[in-house]
């Protein structure tokens, strides 16, 4: 698991079904690659995705609930701020495409989940500060 500054924090990993996980960063398992771990590369790809109405990347917004990496196969669960989100039809595909473009990724699947519902509490402190949501 990585904190908002990109540092690994194994103690911060939590059971994704627990109540604590609803307010933690996504659970990630990674592989070592040439440019850092595959986990690092996946997170970097996700951080390049933005909701066009919000100037914060979707990783810091807390829209990524789970990232599993096994044998260069990446499986991601993400959510949206609202079911009526204008990019609901395109954002998951954008995330999938950016992850699939990583050289060592053989396959990627991104699914949209609604449980637990997204709240601003999932955002990193930096994202809340940037958006004035203390």
Tens of pLDDT, residue by residue over 23-65, are 344 544 444 444 689 999 999 999 999 988 889 999 999 999 9
Residue-range domains of the chain with CATH: 10-131 (3.30.300.130)
Tens of pLDDT, residue by residue over 83-92, are 888 899 999 9
Across all residues in the chain, what is the average pLDDT? Answer: 80
Strands 107-112 and 73-78: parallel
The model's pTM is: 0.74
Which residues, at least 6 apart from 5, have a Cβ–Cβ distance to it below 8 Å?
none
Burial class of 19 by CB neighbour count within 10 A (0 to 12, 13 to 18, 19+): exposed
Angstrom distance (rounded) from CA 119 to CA 52: 18
pLDDT score recorded for residue 17 = 36
Q: Which comes out higher in pLDDT, residue 20 or 122?
A: 122
């Amino acid at each position: 698991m990585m904190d908002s500054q990109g540092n690994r924090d194994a103690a911060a990993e939590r059971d994704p079904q627990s109540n604590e996980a609803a307010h933690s960063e996504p659970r990630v398992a990674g592989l070592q690659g040439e440019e850092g771990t595959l986990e690092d590369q996946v997170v970097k790809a996700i951080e390049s995705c933005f909701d066009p109405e919000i100037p914060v990347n979707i990783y810091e917004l807390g829209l990524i609930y789970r990232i599993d990496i096994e044998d260069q196969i990446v499986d991601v669960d993400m959510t949206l701020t609202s079911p009526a989100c204008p990019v609901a039809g395109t954002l998951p595909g954008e995330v999938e495409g950016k992850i699939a473009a990583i050289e060592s990724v053989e396959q990627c699947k991104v699914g949209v989940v609604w449980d637990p519902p997204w709240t601003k509490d999932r955002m990193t402190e930096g994202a809340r500060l940037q958006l004035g949501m203390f």
